[in-house]
Amino acid sequence: MIEFKAITKDYADSAALQAIDLCVASGELFVLVGPSGSGKTTLLKTVNRLVVPTSGQVLIDGVDVATGDLQTLRRHIGYVLQSSALFPNMTVMQNASVQLEALGWPKARIRPRIEALLRLVDLEPTLYAERRPAELSGGEAQRVGIVRALAADPKLMLMDEPFSALDPVSRRQLQALILKLHRELDTTILFVTHDMQEALHLADRMAVLHDGVLQQVGQPQAVIAEPANAFVADFFKDVIAGQRTLAQVLAAGFGRPTTAAGKPLPATTSIYAWANALAAEPRLAVQVGQTQLDATDLIGYLASLDQKEVPHA
Ligand SMILES: Nc1ncnc2c1ncn2[C@@H]1O[C@H](COP(=O)(O)OP(=O)(O)OP(=O)(O)O)[C@@H](O)[C@H]1O
Ligand SMILES: [Mg+2]
């Protein structure tokens, strides 16, 4: 378990982190999400002491990271960055072995270990082990960076926007890979992204940061269902809009109270399912509890969502 206790980080002209209290459970895939400059990287780096907090403590399994030996700490934490930061003059095998060499593993054990991990990330060793970084795509280089971070079987992986430089297809593939690795390996992952879609897709739980202040912590569905404040609601607004249901249409005041029989639909029905039903049958009236809705209600509701989005004739 990682515990951040009242972590504050002040720079000369900014407060990067303000009294952050946060617990990440062992085995979680935990995402730190927020806009650029919100303090995500700074918070992540307090774990491997690349950043020393102005005040507060980080505990890993109850032990303050400030107390132990720095090299030992870092060798037991996997670290993956936006650019894979591979050594250009070294092969994939050599790059991926760096951590194990430093830990003094015998050569005879290193090779099979790295080959197994390359297979795990879908890089066939006979094709990739002897290549150099210049002979890899961006996505392949990130996979090698992940293998390097996983080599020593760390209990904890720190990942700082590892996929943000990739095209959307590679990004999707590597997100799926991370979910697979997280299922198969017994590793806690602390993952930083500014992309809310990525956060929602990956996170067991997530923490939303803004201006160095923790805004909300929770499971993605819980954050979307109940944003803690206006910042969080705005940050996730595209997704929240995509999750609109008949309950929200009623709450916005649309519909007429009647018990006349329309097609009964539960209040949890998405407005898109409703729109589909209307596309097939434009005159359809639907009955949600004691309230009836028709096509004009859907149009009125959509128009009310964001006046700025209504096109001008
Ligand atoms: N070494 C430093 N010296 C001074 N200010 C810094 C330093 N590192 C970070 N900051 C400031 O601290 C704040 C948080 O930075 P941080 O890198 O943690 O943001 P971030 O959330 O990771 O952003 P991004 O999504 O752009 O990577 C920013 O205002 C940044 O300018
Ligand atoms: Mg950052």
Rounded Cα distance, 278 and 244, in Å: 16
Using one digit for the tens of pLDDT, what is the confidence trace for 167-208? 888 899 899 999 999 999 889 999 999 999 999 999 999 999
Rounded Cα distance, 313 and 303, in Å: 14
Rounded Cα distance, 236 and 222, in Å: 12
Stretch 65-86: mean pLDDT, rounded? 89
- Whether the predicted pLDDT of 302 surpasses 80: yes
Q: Which of 8, 17, 40 gets mutated to test ligand 1 (max ligand atoms within 8 A of its CB)?
A: 40
| Spacing, Cα 147 to ligand 1 middle (Å) | 27
Average pLDDT in the chain: 92
Please give the pLDDT value at position 312. Answer: 46
Rounded Cα distance, 296 and 138, in Å: 49
**Category of 62 on φ-ψ map: left (φ > 0), alpha (ψ -120 to 50) or beta:** left
Using one digit for the tens of pLDDT, what is the confidence trace for 210-242? 999 999 999 998 898 889 999 999 999 888 777
| Cα–Cα nearest to 190, from 162, 221, 213 | 162
Residues with CB under 6 A from ligand 1: 11, 14, 16, 34, 36-42, 194
Q: Count Cβ atoms within 10 A of the Cβ of residue 198 and give its class: 0-12 exposed, 13-18 middle, 19 or more buried.
A: buried
For atom 25 of ligand 1, which residue has the closest CA? 36
Rounded Cα distance, 150 and 61, in Å: 20
| Cα–Cα nearest to 143, from 109, 119, 113 | 119
| Spacing, Cα 36 to ligand 2 middle (Å) | 7
277 Cβ contact partners less than 8 Å away, ≥ 6 residues apart: 263, 265, 284, 286
161 Cβ contact partners less than 8 Å away, ≥ 6 residues apart: 81, 82, 192, 193, 194
